[in-house]
């Protein structure tokens, strides 16, 4: 009896394990749509609910990093020594090892584009001193930005008790990144980049490639958070930013984001005043205790930052050269004009020294992690920090600072079985409507025919009416743009949309200018491309047929 009971308990345990994925609850859903220009909220649902932000966290890590660069606290070419904490972070990873040396610019690229957890932690440990101090600085900066529902516990967003944010807060953060650091914002639209030890590819490239006007900004995924995304897109004079928490897959999240951005473009005025958010001051923390020690007031001007303490500034070098030139000149043999010039030079030099003594330019706090840099490296750092626009493209030289130890166990094997944070189905569809459209997206329906859905999110850009049209001096036999391609009837609207998206990606050259329409028919849903010339429609259908895809050419 005891033996049977033991086997019964074991069987029940196995059954429960098998059923757990079926009964697990999906991550809570939240969303907010905002006019980037004015900050007006165009739509929201559960926008203030505190949820797991996943890798959206890295937006704050990068925001503070950009602050530190502008303040002269660190530079893009400062060399970071990877901490043991950073090297131990699970995927998604750049592949860093303890003690490895790598430039900050590469860590920024890996964190923003690949969403590398090890890269984000390496940045936080290098600038903040340790994880606790960096998290405190992140939370304090969030408060200065007006993010009322956010508390951070780490630099990368891996699930940790108390590490929470909201759709509203992440949208505010994305807006601040756009306005406070426009010189770095292009980083979030890049599909790939050189990260020093490897080329990294964007976790958001599929949405960036598929949605008209999309130019950022950050994805996120953990099992606790679901599939999250903060995205920005620009069409004409309009710019919309939106955030989604709790997507059920990359494709479903992308489809929902396309709906919400479309809704934003429909509701936002074409001409709206730009109301830039106020940039907060630099937040400093105690690197030992992790406590916030001061919050500087908002910066009203952007003076050039000076070098780290202990190194001569460019002005000091110029003064020294001027003094040396004056002292080297043979005073007894000079003419009166030369003597007068030397006197003027000495006066100017004295004034320059006095000006340096009262210069309002900020001096960076000492950072022990970079105390060993050479004087020449410090000057390079200062020039990088003073650059008016840094696209993160230019590099002084291509140098691999430290090679990865390939004799060790492969990086992926070290974290086998651990949770992977990031888009986990890169081979899946770009978009997938897995649920019925929300009520707020009903505005996407064609007002003249409620049974026809126009995928406005994927429409090609319209012709600019201000540009002069080019007159072609020969007759066309195409019959005008009254032709199209039909993929036939599908069992559901979702299947029709999926067929259109799939074929649009396959034959983007021939179908790129066509409008995708799904029409309700008696026996099902018809997937059509319309607005094509006869030549283009015939060519597109022929190429699709070559791929064993059934289609037909429809005319006027």
Instruction: Give bridge partners of residue 517 from the DSSP assignment.
Output: 454, 528
Q: In 3D, which of 285, 207, 188 has the Cα closest to residue 253? A: 207
Tokens of 214: 């999309």
Residue 435 has pLDDT above 60, yes or no: no
Range from 202-211, 238-247, 331-340, 525-534 that averages highest in pLDDT = 238-247
Higher-confidence position of 540 and 171: 171
Q: In 3D, which of 486, 487, 496 has the Cα closest to residue 432? A: 496
Residue 70 has pLDDT above 70, yes or no: yes
Helix, strand or coil, per DSSP, at residue 234: strand
Helix, strand or coil, per DSSP, at residue 273: coil
173 neighbors 59 (Cβ within 8 angstroms): yes
Active site residue 58: yes
Residue 226: left if φ>0, alpha if ψ -120 to 50, beta else—which one?
Answer: left
> By percentage, how much of the chain surpasses pLDDT 90?
43
In this structure, are strands 283-285 and 238-247 parallel, antiparallel, or unpaired?
unpaired
What is the rounded distance in angstroms from the CA atom of residue 540 to the CA atom of residue 478? 14
Q: What is the per-residue pLDDT across 78-92, written as a single tens digit (0 to 9) for each?
A: 999 999 999 999 999
Domains of the chain: 32-277 (3.40.710.10), 314-372 (no CATH), 445-461+479-554 (3.30.70)
Give the pLDDT band of residue 11 (cuts 50, 70, 90).
low
Q: pLDDT at position 291, please?
A: 52
Q: pLDDT at position 499, please?
A: 87
Instruction: Give bridge partners of residue 6 from the DSSP assignment.
Output: none
Q: pLDDT at position 24, please?
A: 39
Q: pLDDT at position 299, please?
A: 44
Higher-confidence position of 414 and 199: 199
Least trusted range by pLDDT, from 44-48, 219-223, 379-383, 511-515 = 379-383
What is the rounded distance in angstroms from the CA atom of residue 408 to the CA atom of residue 516? 51
Give the pLDDT band of residue 319 (cuts 50, 70, 90).
very low
Residue 188 has pLDDT above 90, yes or no: yes
Tokens of 55: 């890798």
What is the rounded distance in angstroms from the CA atom of residue 354 to the CA atom of residue 414? 58
228 neighbors 28 (Cβ within 8 angstroms): no
Residue 47 has pLDDT above 60, yes or no: yes
Q: What is the per-residue pLDDT across 465-517, written as a single tens digit (0 to 9) for each?
A: 554 544 444 333 444 677 889 999 998 988 888 888 888 877 777 787 788 88
In this structure, are strands 292-295 and 283-285 parallel, antiparallel, or unpaired?
antiparallel
What is the rounded distance in angstroms from the CA atom of residue 378 to the CA atom of residue 373? 7
Please give the helix or strand (H or E) that residue 230 lies within, else none. Answer: strand 226-235
Q: pLDDT at position 80, please?
A: 96
Query: In the predicted model, what is the mean pLDDT of residues 374-387?
Result: 43
What is the rounded distance in angstroms from the CA atom of residue 125 to the CA atom of residue 85? 8
Query: In the predicted model, what is the mean pLDDT of residues 423-431?
Result: 60
Q: pLDDT at position 383, please?
A: 46
What is the rounded distance in angstroms from the CA atom of residue 124 to the CA atom of residue 126? 6
Give the pLDDT band of residue 429 (cuts 50, 70, 90).
low
Least trusted range by pLDDT, from 66-70, 123-127, 160-164, 307-311 = 307-311
Tokens of 536: 């283009």
Place of tokens 């930013």: 241
Catalytic one among 75, 115, 121, 307? 115
Residue 406 has pLDDT above 70, yes or no: no
Entry pTM: 0.59
Decide: residue 352, CB within 10 A, 0-12 exposed, 13-18 middle, 19+ buried.
middle
367 neighbors 127 (Cβ within 8 angstroms): yes
C-alpha torsion 254→255→259→264, nearest 10: 10
Query: In the predicted model, what is the mean pLDDT of residues 428-454?
Result: 45
Establish how many alpha carbons lie within 13 A of residue 210's alpha carbon, considering only the half-sphere containing its beta carbon.
24
154 neighbors 164 (Cβ within 8 angstroms): no
Q: In 3D, which of 166, 148, 212 has the Cα closest to residue 44? A: 166
Name the average pLDDT for the chain: 74
């Amino acid at each position: 009896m005891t033996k049977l009971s033991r086997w019964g308990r074991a069987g029940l345990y196995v059954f429960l394990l098998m059923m757990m994925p079926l009964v697990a609850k999906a991550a809570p859903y939240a969303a907010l749509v905002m006019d980037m220009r004015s900050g007006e909220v165009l739509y929201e649902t559960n926008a203030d609910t505190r949820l797991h932000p996943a890798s959206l966290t890295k937006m704050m890590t990068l925001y503070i990093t950009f602050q530190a660069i502008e303040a002269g606290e660190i530079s893009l070419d400062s060399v970071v020594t990877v901490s043991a904490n950073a090297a131990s972070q699970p995927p998604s990873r750049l592949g860093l090892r303890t003690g490895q040396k790598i430039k900050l610019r590469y860590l920024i690229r890996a964190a923003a584009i690949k969403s590398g957890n090890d890269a984000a932690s390496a940045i936080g440990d290098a600038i903040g001193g340790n994880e606790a101090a960096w998290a405190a600085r992140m939370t304090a900066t969030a408060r200065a930005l007006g993010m009322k529902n956010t508390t951070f516990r780490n630099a990368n967003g891996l699930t940790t008790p108390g590490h929470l944010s909201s759709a509203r807060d992440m949208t505010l953060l994305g807006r601040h990144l756009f306005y406070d650091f426009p010189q770095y914002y292009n980083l979030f639209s890049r599909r790939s980049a050189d990260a020093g030890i490897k080329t990294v590819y964007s976790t958001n490239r599929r949405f960036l490639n598929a949605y008209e006007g999309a130019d950022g900004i950050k994805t996120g995924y953990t099992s606790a958070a679901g599939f999250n995304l903060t995205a920005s897109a620009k069409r004409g004079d309009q710019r919309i930013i939106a955030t989604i928490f709790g997507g059920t897959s990359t494709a479903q999240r992308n489809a929902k984001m396309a709906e919400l951005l479309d809704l934003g473009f429909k509701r936002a005025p074409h001409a709206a005043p730009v109301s830039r958010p106020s940039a907060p001051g630099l937040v400093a923390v105690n690197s030992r205790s992790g406590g916030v020690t001061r919050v500087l007031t908002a910066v009203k001007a952007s003076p050039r930052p000076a070098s780290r303490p202990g190194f001569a500034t460019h002005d000091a070098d110029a003064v020294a050269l001027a003094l040396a030139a004056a002292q080297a000149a043979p005073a007894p043999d000079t003419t009166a004009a030369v003597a007068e010039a030397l006197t003027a030079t000495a006066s100017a030099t004295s004034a320059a020294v006095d000006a340096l003594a009262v210069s309002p330019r900020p001096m960076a706090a000492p950072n022990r992690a970079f105390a060993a840099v050479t004087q020449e490296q410090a000057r390079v750092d200062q020039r990088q920090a003073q650059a008016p626009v840094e696209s993160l493209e230019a590099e002084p030289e291509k140098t691999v600072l430290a090679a990865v130890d390939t004799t060790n166990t492969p990086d992926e094997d070290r974290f086998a079985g651990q949770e992977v944070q990031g888009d986990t189905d890169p081979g899946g569809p770009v978009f997938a409507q897995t649920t019925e459209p929300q009520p707020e997206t009903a505005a996407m329906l064609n007002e003249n025919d409620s049974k026809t859905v126009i995928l406005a999110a994927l429409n090609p850009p319209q012709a600019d009416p201000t540009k002069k049209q080019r007159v072609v001096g020969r007759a066309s036999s195409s019959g005008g743009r009254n032709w199209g391609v039909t993929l036939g009837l599908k069992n559901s609207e979702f299947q029709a949309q999926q067929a259109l998206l799939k074929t649009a990606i396959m034959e983007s050259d021939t179908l790129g200018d066509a409008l995708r329409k799904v029409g309700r028919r008696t026996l099902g849903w018809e997937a059509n491309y319309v607005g094509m010339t006869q030549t283009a429609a015939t060519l597109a259908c022929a190429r699709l047929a070559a791929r064993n895809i059934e289609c037909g050419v429809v005319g006027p």
